[in-house]
Amino acid sequence: MRFPATCPRCHHTVQADYTDSGIHDLRCEQCSGAFTVYLRKHKFEMLFDLGTRALMDGYAREAVSSFAASLERFFEFYTRASALEQAAQHGEDFEVAHARLEKTWKLITAQSERQLGAFAMQYLQRQGQPPDFLTPQTLGSEFRNRVIHRGYLPPRQEVEAYAARTFALIDRLLTELGDVASHAQLEQELIYARHMAQQGDEVIAVFEEHPGMFRVRRFGSRLPPKQQANKALPATHTNDAISFQAALRERGELLGQVFKSAGMDV
């Protein structure tokens, strides 16, 4: 999937492919200038928005895989943010803590069950209670497995219900994290800074923050008035397809700015 990036020199629009790292090294077709777009958006956010786009475009089955991957990557986001929070509480240097976390995560990076276990223990330690929501019913595991592994073609209503469960769970855990989520944001900024340090002075750095389902939910009040959603969801909302449809309506205008056909290739 692609997004439009504006050359900082001549303002020509360049189509860029989303990358796994959030770092996009580009060269303008018009002026040949080099620039790098650093996308301030985490992988779980991007995956959820891609699932939302697929659902809005009628690709229900494809949306399920994106929503499922989004939840897995959010568990990683939570685990990393919580681990870095603990390091900060002990007065540890952030770069040292980040390096240690990277080394540890590599041990489980290819094993989803171990990653889920790491999340469960971090949640227990941070919240003081077991993650009772980690059940097949809450996670929609049977539905996900039927779609992804057994080729089930789900109707839109079932996908909306699955998306609603995923949306509500991530939103709840983000609320519990609160400002602690900034530790994961700082980790991303550290990676971006290291990439910038390796580039020459001729490469212009461009930082972008694209709107999305979770960005609007948490940061909508910080956007310019014309970019704000019509109305934010209440702090607590039901975990069903109706709530998810309401979120789609409220965020649709902002999502459209990113995914509109005039500027993006899907």
pLDDT tens per residue across span 78-134: 999 999 999 999 999 999 999 999 999 999 999 999 999 999 999 999 999 999 999
Angle at 42 between CA 206 and CA 146, to 5 degrees: 140
Q: Per the domain annotation, does 265 fall within a domain? A: no
**Does residue 266 belong to any structural domain of this protein?**
no
Most confident of the following: 98-102, 168-172, 213-217:
98-102
Per residue in 99-109, pLDDT (tens digit) is: 999 999 999 99
211, 227 Cβ separation under 8 angstroms: yes
229 or 200, greater pLDDT: 200
Report if residue 117 sits inside a domain: yes
Which structural domain range is residue 48 located in? Answer: 2-259
Residue 247 lies in a domain: yes
With respect to residue 144, please indicate whether it lies within any of the assigned structural domains.
yes
Total tally of structural domains belonging to the chain: 1
Q: Higher pLDDT residue, 249 or 163?
A: 163
Distance between CA 85 and CA 94 in Å, rounded? 10
Query: pTM higher than 0.85, yes or no?
Result: no
Q: Is 26 domain-assigned? A: yes
The reply to whether 111 falls in a domain is yes
Does residue 188 form part of some domain?
Answer: yes
